[in-house]
Amino acid sequence: MAILLVGYSVRMIAELAVRAGYDVFALDYFGDADLRALCPGLSLRHDFGDRPYDPKTLVRIAAALDHPAVVYGANLENHPDLVARLARGRRLLGNTPATLRDVRDPFRVGDVLRSAGRAFPETLPAVPVDRPRPGERWLLKPLRSGGGHAVRFWTGGAVPVGTVLQAYRPGMVGSAVFVADGRRAVLLGVTEQLIGRQAFGARDFRYCGNLVPPRRAPDELAALIDEARAVAAVLTEAFGLRGVNGIDFVWSEGRLWTIEVNPRPPASLEPLEKVYGYRTFDFHVRAFDGDLPAFDLTHAERRVPAAGKAVLYATETLTVGNTSDWIRRGIRDVPHPGESIPQGRPVCTLHAVGPSPASCLRRLRYRARWVRSRRDAALSKGDPLRGSDGVTE
């Protein structure tokens, strides 16, 4: 019987699962056209009266479905109580609610990493404070968020409940992906994140894609990989992480500063699979039986030199027109014709492979311009996709 996939958007997980030979059933908010072509499923937008996204509603619908196992995606890692309900009567192929509570706590993560001699930015709780130290920059971050949404520079004053202050570190924003069995971890890859890029409609610190490998010299990349492997091992041992997980970090002055742990399959899996040729969904499922892959990132051969993905965001509210050829062109998370997309929401996901990460980024920018230039792609306010050049990570 099919594995149930539940999350805000599960198209990526479904595509990776089908590619690895698994039978899956999708339950998410979007129900994108390419997801419907991949596997059976339900979506809040298209099967339940265009309901707004609500993780409680997703879990309530899931409770009525008969599937023996479940994999959850973003943003259910922020709702451990809902994950507990999701797992009732079926096998949970994901980190447990107790693990989620611990590893999504930045103060617990910071204590663990610093005790192991690893870098974690100073983080302060939600209390009325003045600027901690003159001359330093701080980020105001929601505790229950993801993808850089609502992260901004702090300008002083009270820190609202549900947010934290985190010291800002300049450097390359990246992600590391690993698979774990609760005791051991195998590093699967590191990526350079695309953050707040105007070419894809993104602003501030919002995630809009990944490049594999990061644009770093070989010696520096080797050092980054060594640190990422060590951090993954520390986190796995301390929190009992299982399956495929992600780490968001800043690579600054030769150190890896962990900024967040994503205890579920992260968005960077697609370009990693293109480069290294493995099947991450299979790794994820097998890890829950204690079976980790014999993979060594340091000596891994690449199927292609580089790969990238970019999320294209709407710069104003639009209504989608003809998208019938988007899947054939390698575009993913394809909206249905006639679908309304509010400003700031993702329009689609773009992919590219090439001889270098820089060439992949150029191709992603070109493909973003192609989507915007389609006169039949969106019909609202004089073709709104032709708005300002913007990107999101």
Domain 172-393 belongs in CATH node 3.30.470.20? yes
3-class secondary-structure state, position 270: helix
Considering the entire predicted model, what is its pTM?
0.93
Q: What is the pLDDT of residues 222-239, one digit of tens each?
A: 999 999 999 999 999 999
What are the domain boundaries of the chain? Answer: 3-93, 122-167, 172-393
Domain 3-93 belongs in CATH node 3.40.720.10? no
Whether pLDDT at 382 is above 60: no
DSSP symbols for 220-239: HHHHHHHHHHHHHHHHHHHH
Cis peptide leading into residue 75 (ω within 30°): yes
Q: What is the pLDDT of residues 226-278, one digit of tens each?
A: 999 999 999 999 999 999 999 999 999 999 999 999 999 999 999 999 999 99
Rounded CA-CA distance 192/211 in Å is 5
Rounded CA-CA distance 120/131 in Å is 20
3-class secondary-structure state, position 243: strand
Q: Mean pLDDT across the stretch 83-89?
A: 97
Per-residue pLDDT band for 57 (boundaries 50, 70, 90) equals very high
Q: Mean pLDDT across the stretch 83-112?
A: 97
Of the candidates 195, 196, 246, 192, which has an alpha carbon nearest to the alpha carbon of residue 224? 192
What's the pLDDT score for residue 299?
A: 95
Of the candidates 108, 85, 81, 359, which has an alpha carbon nearest to the alpha carbon of residue 239? 108
